[in-house]
A and B are shown apart, each in its own frame.
Chain A
Amino acid sequence: MAAMLQPQIILLKEGTDTSQGKAQLVSNISACTVVADVVRTTLGPRGMDKLIHDDKGNTTISNDGATIMKLLDIVHPAAKILVDIAKSQDSEVGDGTTTVVLLAGEFLKEAKPFIEDGVHPQNLIRSYRTASYLAIEKIKELAVSIEGKSLEEKKSLLAKCAATTLSSKLIGGEKEFFASMVVDSVIAIGNDDRLNMIGIKKVPGGTMRDSFLVNGVAFKKTFSYAGFEQQPKKFLNPKILLLNIELELKSEKENAEIRLSDPLQYQSIVDAEWNIIYDKLDKCVQSGAKIVLSRLAIGDLATQYFADRDIFCAGRVTEEDLQRVAAATGGTVQTTVNNIIDEVLGSCELFEERQVGNERFNIFSGCPSGQTATIVLRGGADQFIEEAERSLHDAIMIVRRALKNSTVVAGGGAIDMEISRYLRQHARTIAGKSQLFINSYAKALEVIPRQLCDNAGFDATDVLNKLRQKHALPSGEGGLFGVDINTGGIADSFANFVWEPAVVKINAINAATEAACLVLSVDETVKNPKSESAQGEAAASAMGGRGRGGAFRGRGRGMRRR
């Protein structure tokens, strides 16, 4: 009987899931909208935070779109695109991660009825692309440059940008305090793109007002051996030696073995080893340095040796901190103690060990090159400090961006409303389907002010209508009006110093449009059956087997040696 049947042609592996066509596209859009809904409420100064904890028990409380998206662990293939654009916005400009996801979600939502009505996705895509191009041109035109201002003026302008970013975060209550701190630190590192020169140290305890900026480097006291307390803890204008070697009594060569036939020589070997380390220590002292830092361990012998000579030392300083100290003090990290010349030694005005909360901190301040800054964050809970760090990171990125291409636009949804108006106006000049699509693009842009209102508990329709009216004024004077978060009305965002760097908006619109177009252009998903996980398990068990074998072998060898 079976032979009688037509042979079935099997193209794809058994269990492969394929879905295609319009239905698939619509379902992809729904998935993206669901994801956008998750971060929706975090937008703006009245945005709420999310508490996410995973199976391992790690808890994160965050307001940052990119962080939330990352932690949601999204597996839906189309929705993953949104995670990616949030990430790319984060790495490109650092802020506006919620905005970008929200915009992409809204673009798709607006596209959905058209798709359902049978519009070809490519038509939509083309119109969206045009719209985004027009929008970006408009932003560039509307942006206000802060170039050519004096440093003082610039500082206060940058602080405004930082404050706008911070206002939506947990530390929004102290935004002026942190904004000026961020601006100072970004200006301190100069024009170099070395973001790792801004260190952020977290110390639980205290309130956020207790956070402070060190114009130099600060790091937690490292593990110390007996004798450390005998060292002086404060220096004025010390010379600093930076090392990348161990100052410890240890075997010089791992693979060497000494064979002695005469027991009398035993002592000489011991002495030789001691001499090596003493020689090293002596050279450190000879260099005239008052502070010795090493990335590797500084043992108890060295600690006491230095203590005797009134030298401060710290071992196991992390690579990052050491690099920062090197940059700040003008020293160079040495991998040997031979031939230390004055040029490789760093210096700073003041070194001090200070109590911060429950920890002791080593603080180098008044550094000559001044290209580093360290922010010591304080806060009532671990999660709080973590979130504060993320917020500061956003602010730092914003300030850095604003410093580079120094144009700003009005925030609070003002710029979005203005572009929306402009696009609507433009759409009227177009004949054909495209008019509808650009109109819906313009409508999607209004999601930003609408969400700002929603999150603040205002009547979104009411506020939006007021805004539309202002922006439609023929004189164009209403172009800077955005949502006033304090009164529930509208206000001139620019005059109220709600500023965003133009690049954030440009990037957000760009990325969101790209993502929307990408989702729209997909009409088929082919999903392989779960072969991967099965393979993964097999691999894991094979690994386990090997691991056991290794352990057996290891033990065997040990026996033999004995």
Chain B
Amino acid sequence: MALAFDEFGRPFIILRGQEQKSRLRGLDAQKANISAGKAVARILRTSLGPKGMDKILQSPDGDVTITNDGATILEQMDVDNQIAKLMVELSRSQDYEIGDGTTGVVVLAGALLEQAEGLLERGIHPIRVAEGYEMACRIAVEHLEHIAQKFEFGVTNIEPLVQTCMTTLSSKIVNRCKRSLAEIAVKAVMAVADLERRDVNLDLIKVEGKVGGKLEDTELIHGIVVDKDMSHPQMPKHIEDAKIAILTCPFEPPKPKTKHKVDIDTVEKFQTLRLQEQKYFDDMVQKCKDVGATLVICQWGFDDEANHLLMHRNLPAVRWVGGVELELIAIATVREGGVYTPCILRGHRFLAGLVREKSFGTTKDRMLYIERCANSRAVTIFVRGGNKMIIEETKRSIHDALCVARNIIRNNSIVYGGGSAEISCSIAVEAAADKYPGVEQYAIRAFGDALDSIPMALAENSGLQPIETLSAVKSQQIKDNNAYCGIDCNDVGTYDMREQNVFETLIGKQQQILLATQVVKMILKIDDVISPTDY
């Protein structure tokens, strides 16, 4: 901020620490902001589409992440610039709401900013640009609804869902076995979905991973997998028709919460105390036995004495199972009888078809499978893969696929992918632009151009001639009046995305356009950046 001078020519300070603050205003601020936004978009541009590349990200403490997922890349990049942070949040909110299309939304926002820069240089007021974008956005979203198709699926007919998930997975590193992963994802979502309310609680799907094996070994378990083993090595590893007692109390003599002291002044007293403790363990085990439990799963630990006792009484037990997992087990299994003991031991018996411990390869790692649960409302996807990074990336990809499946259950409209929807919108927006009087017309047309950048990036990443391909597709769309022509990334030989079975969800696409417009508007509206200089 320029210093103000009083009548004697002495500068005076108006803001605290004025000298240390830098200030950018007017067109300079907008240009700086736009270039920051564009820089972020440029990073993600190459990750778009089935032939998109992955990024390797190393965290300060040396952890390596390899990913293709826009939201993850931005999250791990740890950007510093304020405007760039807005782009990160943009991608994150797409992730929260839709779960997929996190790269596309940033690329679109970047393209919008790029177009806006040109308009600003021609002297168009930034707010008019933003307003034009908003109008165009509305046209595009309506047009999407127009070209969207409903599609039917049912509990038995999951093929359409699988196809859509495959589109999502095809851009990931796991596209080698996208078919099987897509099937797993869809089955998992169908298992927990509440089709009447169109609600899917993704918390009920647990994604667990273990290094080793190959990607094809990834499986869906109608039950729970816990990364724990039996508390005693000699306990049985295989329990059919298990009746599980789930305990959230510690398996030890309870202590009163009130401050207390036990005065022990004689040996006898000490003996009684000890005996009491022992008896207490005994009682607890007995109570578990009484309700008919054949397996105890405990949230907390118990000491070796209790362990020995459990072993002795032939009651297998698992300790230190986390609260969330415990809850999932309780949901997956069926409660039998409301056995409730009004004292220390609260527990129900939960029925599970089979509990088995499985060890992997040559390692000593063991995991506990709780399977064939009567009420398979909680499921686990168990991911295998060559190394940790692959597993992490697979988990993220499966998460995307799960979200896509969930979105279709919520709203079963789809649009076609491969950039076809964007091209179609772009045509619609440009046609509509001519009807608007005023400066906004330019902004609307620029919006149409920005929409083209997604198919352009797709083509670029697939090694095609971007402009040539785009114009070919566009002309075909107009010629045949067919909104389903997109970029042929996989070299199948047809532009028609219906034949290629490339689907995306309608709400996902709409959300992308809406969010990108919103954030771009926000960035354009800033004309003054006040920040500490050391930034």
Contacts and interface: CB of A to CB of B under 8 A. Distances in A.
Interface of A: 19, 22-24, 26-27, 30-31, 34-35, 38, 41, 45-46, 48-55, 59, 61, 63, 72-76, 79, 170, 173, 204-210, 225-230, 249-253, 256-264, 266-267, 269-274, 278, 300-301, 304-305, 308, 355, 357-358, 379-384, 387, 456-457, 486-487
Contact of B518 (A204, A208, A355): A208
Nearest to B97: A205
Contacts of B249: 301
Given A27-B7, A31-B4, A487-B438, 8 more contacts: A49-B525, A52-B529, A53-B531, A205-B96, A206-B97, A225-B323, A261-B262, A301-B346
Given A61-B522, A380-B93, A49 B12 contact: no
A51 B82 contact: yes
Given A49-B527, A270-B256, A355 B263 contact: no
Contact of B525 (A26, A48, A300): A48
B259 A256 contact: yes
A54 B248 CA distance: 46
Interface in B490-524: 511, 514-515, 518-519, 521-522
A49 B522 contact: yes
Give the interface centre of A272, A355, A387 by most chain B CB atoms within 10 Å: A355
Contacts of B17: 73
B254 A270 contact: yes
A41 B521 contact: no
Contacts of A266: 262, 273, 276
B248 A264 contact: no
Nearest to B262: A260
A26 B6 CA distance: 7
B365 interface: no
B263 A260 contact: yes
B155 interface: no
Contacts of B529: 50-52
Contact of B96 (A46, A204, A486): A204
Contacts of A384: 86, 518-519, 522
A229 B532 CA distance: 47
A35 B14 contact: yes
A267 B13 contact: no
A116 to B, nearest CB: 9
B527 A264 contact: no
Interface residues of B, number: 86
A173 B327 contact: no
Contact of B89 (A27, A170, A271, A380): A380
Contact of A226 (B33, B299, B438, B518): B299
A358 B406 CA distance: 13
Given A26-B6, A34-B14, A52-B530, A227 B93 contact: no
Interface in B173-205: 199, 201, 203
Interface of B: 1, 4-8, 12-17, 29, 33, 82-83, 85-86, 89-90, 92-97, 125-128, 131, 134, 199, 201, 203, 248-249, 254-265, 269-270, 272-273, 276, 280, 299, 323-324, 326-328, 330-331, 338, 340, 342-344, 346, 438, 511, 514-515, 518-519, 521-522, 525-532, 535
Contacts of B203: 229
B96 A48 contact: no
5 contacts: A24-B6, A251-B256, A260-B262, A260-B263, A266-B262
A358 B96 CA distance: 5
B125 A258 contact: no
Nearest to A278: B342
B89 A257 contact: no
A53 B535 contact: yes
B526 A48 contact: yes
A392 to B, nearest CB: 16
Contacts of B94: 205
B517 to A, nearest CB: 9
Contacts of B256: 251, 258, 269-270, 272-273
Contact of A27 (B6, B85, B514, B527): B6
Contacts of B14: 31, 34-35, 74-76, 79
A524 to B, nearest CB: 14
B40 to A, nearest CB: 13
A456 B7 contact: no
Given A49-B526, A74-B15, A260-B261, A23 B6 contact: yes
Contact of A73 (B15, B343, B346): B15
A261 to B, nearest CB: 5
A267 B131 CA distance: 73
A257 B248 contact: no
Contacts of B527: 41, 48-50
B90 A381 contact: yes
Given A30-B6, A76-B12, A263 B82 contact: no
A59 B254 CA distance: 50
A209 B514 contact: yes
A147 B269 CA distance: 84
B127 A262 contact: no
A34 B263 contact: no
Given A51-B529, A73-B15, A207-B515, A257 B261 contact: yes
Contacts of A267: 276, 280
Contacts of B86: 381, 383-384
Contacts of B97: 205-206, 210, 357-358
Contact of A41 (B12, B82, B263, B528): B528
B107 to A, nearest CB: 15
Contact of B269 (A46, A53, A263): A263
A20 B269 CA distance: 88
Contact of B263 (A23, A75, A251, A261): A261
Contacts of A27: 4, 6-7, 12
A258 B259 CA distance: 6
A486 B257 contact: no
A107 to B, nearest CB: 18
Given A49-B525, A72-B530, A251 B342 contact: no
Contact of A230 (B82, B93, B330, B522): B330
Contact of A76 (B13, B201, B248): B13
A173 B125 contact: no
A26 B5 CA distance: 10
A257 to B, nearest CB: 4
Give the interface centre of A257, A301, A308, A380 by most chain B CB atoms within 10 Å: A380
B96 A380 contact: no
A258 B528 contact: no
Nearest to B254: A270
A267 to B, nearest CB: 7
A536 to B, nearest CB: 15
Given A256-B258, A257-B258, A381-B93, A226 B323 contact: yes
Give the interface centre of B7, B258, B323 by most chain A CB atoms within 10 Å: B258
A249 to B, nearest CB: 6
B248 A300 contact: yes
B273 A263 contact: yes
Contact of A48 (B127, B269, B342): B127
Nearest to A35: B14
Nearest to B202: A355
A263 B255 CA distance: 12
Nearest to B406: A355
Contact of A274 (B5, B93, B344, B514): B344
Nearest to B323: A226
A207 B8 contact: no
B531 A269 contact: no
A204 B97 CA distance: 9
Contacts of B12: 27, 31, 76
Give the interface centre of B97, B128, B511 by most chain A CB atoms within 10 Å: B97
Contact of A34 (B4, B90, B346, B522): B4
Given A50-B530, A53-B535, A258 B258 contact: yes
